[in-house]
């Protein structure tokens, strides 16, 4: 039997794939698992495809694969697919390898094993299915955009292939829901109403006994961390060439940039956003510790498999009780280190384990509530839990997720202000989309229906969220539109990662303008923070949709740690792109006249529009805001279209002997044969199903002789052309030379001038 290639992406000619045939509808169903549930199916082999479920305990897919047919061969599979791993940091990759090593060891203890593949999941899965004649594929349902696309590619690959059995394998999608419900769409979106429904909690499933893997097949071996990093770098394509931007935090970029010009902003004092400053403060090293729950002395994430994680959870829950166990003492030290606010340590310690699925949320909840019962003689108080660690674990498990909205055309990303959500742009999304744009409206982490984990919320955290959303979901530069604190977050994002932003449109933005970036006084712009801090609760109730979700109070409290000390003019200069400031002059939170005056004095390249509105002009006077917003796909295209419009205008206003101006016929060479591009589906999968015909290239025509006496002109030399362009440059296009010099060169020159001025 053929072997499963370790690097399938480099061995397509060895796959032995059958010729494509007409697509057929792939069988797919959702698995509803009860403790004794089973799937009725023939005894063909079953593949269990692990992604973010790296465990044997409480694994509905694995349990169903075994229960369906006791003698069925069950093949556990993990695929290192760069599309799934693209956003993983080096720390997460290391934790992933620890988890897979533990999973492989647990499976081997039952005479099974974990098959390992590197490459595109559709290639690995298809080859394995053909080798073992699998009839079922069990895989967890995914909600993340990138991974859902991978699953869709696997489904498409299987549906378009031929199999000896005649039918493609059936994909069974499972989930491990915390609550017992039939249809998630019937659940209330109000947290208070949801609690009143008192849905029963699902019990975690016990680990099943797997059949021995009596199949001669190469299982593959786990790569080292360096091999994995090399594979991901090697397999990176143009579709994800922005991914390396996610490897460095916003705080690191800012600290490096600001240290070069000695800007006194207090960036480092705004609180840790991910561990680097905290670990430095405690002078912890990267030294390995034997028999540790962590990868190194400086690590704050629990590593390993389910057994280690459960032991760490028990230590966490019993934090107040103290311990004599060395490993538990080490974890308690980490709790003290990461407990920057009540309960914040849980997500830091156990977040990666939950993300990788080393332990299920149901298991965490079950163990936590069991500990609470044991602590209180079997009683669960309706007035709250008995320890902060129990409260933190339950709140982290019962959080929610985020949402977004999209259309077609050039990408526009709308970012709301503090306490609001994407609904604050309800009167803008449609109008902007009508311009032929693709509109994304994101609800920031911590607001609306987005998840509200117990973490340190800051402007830098949200700027990294925007960066990741653009890189992972939008996948092309966007026009960033932000209101209030959302405008400041957009400015940070455009400043630190300018390649991600086409332009900045700021609606009554937060932040200060400071001459020469010298220092940040308690300016009028910062009074916004003082005002919000004093009236946070009242403002949310009066102006924004109030949220009662778990974790909402933590987000409101985060305003006390906000730091608007990076000057707007510094961020604008670092961005270097087009910027429009829309200012409602009746804003009760800032003195708009003073702010606009500072912008005009110190931000010469910023365009400003003053409106008769308050703090949210996009909500108060949406038509006036949208009237001044024009988004274009590419500025080069926009310029050429203007040239065409000028030609049309010139011809229409001129006189001709024939009486009529010449007719302009606009043509295009489209790849597909269609009548109206606006009728095409924006879904790639749906577009493929329409099976549009491809246009055939036209043969070069035979042109008639040019029997007209006319001067044809001659081509200029390169120097003549450059001189002509320089000579004819006008004020309308004096910004064009900017494109010939890199942002880095301009920034270096500017910073050197600042240093020279400071020395004087």
pLDDT score for 446: 79
How confident is the model over 590-608, as pLDDT tens digits?
Answer: 888 888 888 888 887 788 8
Task: Give me the mean pLDDT over the 379-406 stretch.
Answer: 74
pLDDT score for 636: 37
* Residue 400 pLDDT greater than 50, yes or no: no
Contacting residues for 480 by C-beta, under 8 A, at least 6 apart: 413, 415, 466, 490, 493, 494, 501, 502, 503, 504, 505
Using pLDDT thresholds of 50, 70 and 90, give the confidence band for residue 102: very high
CB-based contact 123:320 (threshold 8 Å)? no
Listed range (6-20, 104-118, 217-231, 563-577) with the worst mean pLDDT: 6-20
CB-based contact 592:583 (threshold 8 Å)? yes
335 vs 286, higher pLDDT: 335
Within the chain, all domains assigned CATH 3.40.50.1820 are found at 402-633
**46-202+221-230: which CATH topology?**
Rossmann fold (3.40.50)
Smallest Cα–Cα separation from 389: which of 445, 294, 326, 312?
312
How confident is the model over 522-568, as pLDDT tens digits?
Answer: 444 444 455 555 555 554 444 444 345 666 666 666 665 566 678 88
Using pLDDT thresholds of 50, 70 and 90, give the confidence band for residue 732: very low
* Residue 229 pLDDT greater than 80, yes or no: yes
pLDDT score for 525: 41
Residue 316 is encoded by which pair of tokens?
A: 């966490």
pLDDT score for 546: 39
Residue 279 is encoded by which pair of tokens?
A: 């670990």
* Residue 154 pLDDT greater than 90, yes or no: yes
| Cα–Cα distance, 433 to 620 (Å, whole number) | 19
* Residue 573 pLDDT greater than 50, yes or no: yes
| Cα–Cα distance, 603 to 224 (Å, whole number) | 50
Task: Give me the mean pLDDT over the 232-241 stretch.
Answer: 66
437 vs 46, higher pLDDT: 46
Q: CA angle, corner 140, sides to 402 and 2, nearest 5? A: 135
| Cα–Cα distance, 15 to 161 (Å, whole number) | 12
Smallest Cα–Cα separation from 566: which of 506, 523, 611?
523
pLDDT score for 12: 30
| Cα–Cα distance, 405 to 438 (Å, whole number) | 9
| Cα–Cα distance, 376 to 643 (Å, whole number) | 78
Smallest Cα–Cα separation from 582: which of 622, 528, 543?
622
Listed range (293-297, 331-335, 548-552) with the worst mean pLDDT: 548-552
| Cα–Cα distance, 140 to 150 (Å, whole number) | 12
Using pLDDT thresholds of 50, 70 and 90, give the confidence band for residue 381: confident
Task: Give me the mean pLDDT over the 299-326 stretch.
Answer: 92
pLDDT score for 476: 83
Measured between alpha carbons, how far is residue 7 from residues 47, 79, 461 in Å? 19, 10, 36
451 vs 202, higher pLDDT: 202
User: In 3-state terms, what secondary structure has residue 656?
Assistant: coil
Q: Within 13 Å, how many C-alpha atoms sit on residue 33's CB side? A: 27
* Residue 223 pLDDT greater than 90, yes or no: yes
368 vs 42, higher pLDDT: 368
DSSP annotation of 450 reads: S
pLDDT score for 38: 46
Smallest Cα–Cα separation from 41: which of 78, 16, 12, 70?
70
| Cα–Cα distance, 613 to 619 (Å, whole number) | 9
Q: For the domain 402-633, what is the CATH superfamily, name and number?
A: Alpha/Beta hydrolase fold, catalytic domain (3.40.50.1820)
Task: Give me the mean pLDDT over the 225-236 stretch.
Answer: 84
272 vs 44, higher pLDDT: 44
* Residue 139 pLDDT greater than 90, yes or no: yes
Using pLDDT thresholds of 50, 70 and 90, give the confidence band for residue 98: very high
112 vs 263, higher pLDDT: 112
CB-based contact 98:306 (threshold 8 Å)? no
| Cα–Cα distance, 96 to 92 (Å, whole number) | 6
Task: Give me the mean pLDDT over the 693-716 stretch.
Answer: 84
pLDDT score for 600: 87
569 vs 42, higher pLDDT: 569
| DSSP per-residue letters across 667-706 | ----SB--S-GGGS-SSHHHHHHH-PPBPPPPPPP-PPP-
Provide the β-strand partners of residue 140.
174
Using pLDDT thresholds of 50, 70 and 90, give the confidence band for residue 287: low
Using pLDDT thresholds of 50, 70 and 90, give the confidence band for residue 521: very low
* Residue 452 pLDDT greater than 70, yes or no: yes
Contacting residues for 285 by C-beta, under 8 A, at least 6 apart: 296, 297, 298
Most confident of 185-199, 349-363, 454-468, 516-530: 349-363
Classify strands 411-415 and 170-174 as parallel, antiparallel or unpaired: unpaired
How confident is the model over 463-513, as pLDDT tens digits?
Answer: 888 888 888 778 788 999 999 889 999 999 998 888 889 899 999 888 888
pLDDT score for 526: 47
Using pLDDT thresholds of 50, 70 and 90, give the confidence band for residue 338: confident
Task: Give me the mean pLDDT over the 51-65 stretch.
Answer: 94
Listed range (88-97, 222-231, 337-346, 499-508) with the worst mean pLDDT: 337-346
| Cα–Cα distance, 428 to 625 (Å, whole number) | 9
Q: Compute φ and ψ for 603, nearest 5 degrees.
A: -130, 75
* Residue 369 pLDDT greater than 80, yes or no: yes
Over pLDDT 90: what percentage of the chain?
23
For the range 30-34, what are the long-range contacts, defined as Cβ-Cβ under 8 Å and sequence gap of 24 or more? Answer: 30/141, 30/172, 30/173, 30/174, 30/175, 31/60, 31/61, 31/64, 31/138, 31/172, 31/173, 31/174, 31/175, 33/60, 33/63, 33/64, 33/174, 33/205
Most confident of 153-167, 192-206, 310-324: 310-324
17 vs 308, higher pLDDT: 308
| DSSP per-residue letters across 719-755 | HHHHHHHHHT--GGGTTGGGGGS-HHHHHHHHHHHHH
Cβ atoms within 10 Å, residue 668: 5
Q: Compute φ and ψ for 157, nearest 5 degrees.
A: -60, -45
Tell me the CA end-to-end span of the chain in Å, nearest whole number: 78
Smallest Cα–Cα separation from 486: which of 457, 455, 508?
508
pLDDT score for 283: 42
How confident is the model over 627-649, as pLDDT tens digits?
Answer: 767 665 444 355 566 677 778 77
Listed range (128-137, 193-202, 676-685) with the worst mean pLDDT: 676-685
Q: What is the mean pLDDT of the chain?
A: 76
């Amino acid at each position: 039997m053929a072997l499963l290639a370790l690097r399938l992406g480099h061995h397509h000619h060895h796959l032995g794939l059958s010729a494509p045939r007409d697509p057929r509808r792939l069988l797919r169903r959702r698995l509803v698992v009860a403790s004794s549930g089973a799937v009725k199916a023939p005894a063909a082999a079953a593949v269990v495809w692990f992604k973010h479920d790296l465990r044997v305990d409480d694994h509905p897919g694995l349990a169903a694969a075994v229960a369906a047919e006791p003698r069925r061969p069950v093949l556990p599979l993990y695929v290192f697919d760069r599309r799934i791993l693209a956003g993983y940091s080096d720390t997460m990759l290391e934790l992933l390898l620890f988890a897979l090593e533990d999973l492989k060891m647990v499976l081997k203890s039952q005479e099974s094993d974990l098959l390992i593949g590197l490459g595109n999941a559709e290639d690995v899965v298809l080859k394995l299915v053909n080798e073992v004649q699998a009839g079922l594929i069990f895989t967890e349902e995914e909600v993340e955009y990138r991974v859902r696309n991978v699953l869709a590619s696997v489904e498409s690959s299987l549906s378009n292939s031929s199999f000896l059995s005649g039918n493609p394998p059936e994909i069974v999608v499972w989930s491990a829901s915390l609550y017992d419900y039939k249809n998630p769409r019937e659940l209330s979106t109000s947290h208070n109403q949801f609690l009143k429904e008192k849905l029963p909690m699902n019990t975690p499933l016990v680990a099943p006994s797997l059949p021995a893997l009596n199949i001669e097949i190469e299982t593959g071996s786990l790569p080292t961390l360096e091999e994995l990093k090399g594979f991901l770098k090697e397999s990176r394509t143009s579709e994800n060439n922005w991914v390396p931007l996610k490897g460095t935090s916003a705080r690191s970029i800012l600290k490096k940039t600001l240290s070069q010009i000695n800007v006194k902003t207090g960036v480092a004092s705004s609180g840790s956003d991910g561990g680097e400053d905290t670990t430095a403060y405690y002078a912890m090293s990267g030294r390995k510790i034997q028999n540790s729950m962590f990868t190194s002395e400086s690590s704050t994430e629990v590593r390993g498999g389910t057994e280690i994680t459960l032991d760490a959870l028990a230590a966490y829950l019993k934090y107040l009780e103290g311990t004599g166990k060395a490993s538990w003492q080490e974890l308690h030290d980490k709790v003290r280190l990461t407990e920057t606010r009540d309960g914040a340590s849980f997500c830091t310690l156990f977040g990666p384990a939950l993300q990788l699925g080393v332990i299920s949320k149901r298991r965490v909840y079950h163990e936590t509530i069991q500990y609470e019962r044991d602590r209180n003689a079997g009683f669960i108080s309706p007035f709250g839990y008995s320890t902060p660690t129990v409260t933190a674990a339950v709140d982290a498990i019962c959080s929610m997720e985020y949402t977004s909205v999209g259309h077609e055309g050039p990408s526009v990303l709308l970012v709301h202000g503090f306490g609001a959500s994407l609904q604050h742009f309800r009167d803008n999304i449609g109008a902007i989309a009508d311009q032929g744009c693709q509109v994304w409206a994101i609800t920031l982490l911590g607001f609306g229906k987005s998840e509200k984990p117990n973490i340190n919320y800051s402007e830098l955290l949200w700027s990294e969220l925007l960066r990741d959303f653009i890189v992972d979901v939008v996948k092309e530069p966007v026009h960033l539109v932000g209101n209030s604190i959302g405008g400041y977050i957009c400015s940070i994002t455009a400043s630190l990662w300018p390649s991600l932003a086409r332009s900045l449109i700021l609606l009554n933005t937060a932040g200060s303008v400071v001459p020469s970036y010298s220092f940040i006084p308690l300016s009028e712009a910062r009074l916004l923070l003082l005002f919000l801090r004093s009236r946070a609760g009242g403002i949310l109730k009066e102006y924004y949709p109030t949220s009662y979700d778990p974790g909402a109070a933590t987000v409101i409290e985060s305003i006390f740690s906000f730091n608007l000390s990076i000057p707007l003019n510094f961020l604008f200069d670092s961005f270097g792109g087009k910027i429009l400031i829309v200012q409602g002059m009746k804003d009760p939170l800032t003195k708009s006249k003073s702010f606009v005056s500072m912008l005009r004095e110190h931000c010469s390249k910023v365009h400003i529009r003053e409106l008769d509105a308050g703090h949210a002009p996009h909500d108060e006077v949406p038509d006036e805001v949208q009237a001044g917003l024009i988004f274009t796909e590419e500025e080069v295209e926009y310029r050429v279209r203007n040239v065409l419009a000028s030609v049309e205008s010139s011809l229409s206003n001129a006189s001709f002997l024939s009486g009529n101006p010449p007719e302009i016929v606009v043509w295009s060479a489209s790849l597909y044969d269609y009548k109206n591009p606006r009728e095409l589906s924006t879904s790639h999968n749906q577009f493929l199903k329409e099976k549009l015909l491809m246009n055939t290239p036209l043969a070069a025509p035979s042109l008639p002789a040019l029997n007209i006496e006319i001067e044809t002109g001659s081509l200029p030399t390169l120097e003549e052309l450059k001189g002509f362009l320089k000579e004819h440059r006008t004020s309308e296009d004096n910004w064009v030379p900017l494109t010939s010099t890199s942002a880095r060169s301009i920034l270096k020159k500017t910073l050197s001038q600042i240093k020279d001025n400071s020395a004087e």
